[in-house]
Amino acid sequence: MVSSYRVVTVWGMTTDVVAGVAEGPVAGEQPALPSLSPSRAADFKTCPLLYRFRTIDRLPERPTTDQVRGTLVHAVLERLFDLPAPERTEGAAGGLIEPQWARLTAAAPELATLFADLPEGAFEQFLSSARALLAGYFSVEDPRRLEPAQRESLVETVVDDRLRIRGYIDRLDVSPAGDLRVVDYKTGGAPREAFEARALFQLKFYALVLWRTRGVVPRVLRLLYLKDAEICDYAPDAEELVRFERTLVALWRAIDEATAARDFRPKPSRLCGWCSHQALCPAYGGTPPPYPEPAVEPAATLPLIEE
């Protein structure tokens, strides 16, 4: 199923932001700029207190099997394009699952412990569900006909002369005519009205970076929902990206003000059910931990936001 739509409302989501103390510059170097990524920006818009827990307190969160499965499928799809085009088949993708799982658990051994307390057969079901997501991918795209320009690549630029925005693009396609298509793999179900703008926020973020660095507005922002085998295409324009840039700058200023005031308030919503920190949230009768003190004097009041 392929659907196209335009969303006028600018949402806020996606950016890994680590607020903390900006280190002083090395002699002869310019001071480091604060940076913002889509997922941490999303955290602040969703709930300022969640932003604090993740980026200032740096509270640990045990990943869910859904999150880990998404990481695994992303890794498989990235490696799939290392194969010669004729060999990029569904069977070949399935054959990459276990090697990529071995690579992920070698880098993060704690991932393997996710299944220790689950019923027998849970790991096999996990691998089977990853294969199902790959089947969804092959039902909407033929990778034998694609030669991505970039995969899992970091893109970044500076906006407003003082904020670095950065993030990782799943895939960037460039046509012979120079048109850009930004592709993001989603391993959850396709969102409905309440979440469509959230999903597109991330891609608009990447579109802004590409426009500022390449001088070209991407022709297509594509969300591939593997679970539902659905494609959602969106066509941004320059005027919209200018407005979106202003939105990001305003969001960063709000983060800066909250950091200076140490004031990050909870924002209860339907997403609270997925939060790992309810026990510490005042909205649920909890008490946040003491606000972390910087190890050194801050060079500025700006939050340091990093991937």
214-265 pLDDT, tens per residue? 999 999 999 999 999 999 999 999 999 999 999 999 999 999 999 999 999 9
The Cα–Cα gap between 240 and 259 comes to 29
Nearest Cα to Cα of residue 262 among 58, 61, 48: 48
pLDDT at 301: 34
pLDDT at 218: 98
Buried b (16+ CB within 10 A) or exposed e, 172-194: bbbeeeeebbbbbbbbbebbeee
Can you tell me which residue has the tokens 């034998």? 144
What is the spatial distance between Cα 153 and Cα 169, in angstroms, rounded to a whole number?
Answer: 5
Comparing CA positions, the residue from 234, 232, 233, 227 lying closest to residue 139 is 227
Phi, psi values for residue 215, rounded to 5°: 75, 15
**What sign results for the dihedral spanned by CA atoms 181, 184, 185, 191?**
negative
Calpha distance 133→142 (Å, rounded)? 14
- pLDDT number for residue 107: 94
Q: Are 108 and 67 in contact (CB under 8 A)?
A: no
How many Cβ atoms from other residues are within 10 Å of residue 50's Cβ? 24
Integer-rounded Cα radius of gyration of the chain: 20
pLDDT number for residue 5: 27
Torsion angles phi and psi, residue 275, rounded to 5:
-80, 140
The amino acid at residue 174 is V
* Residue ranges in the chain modelled with pLDDT below 70: 1-31, 189-196, 295-307
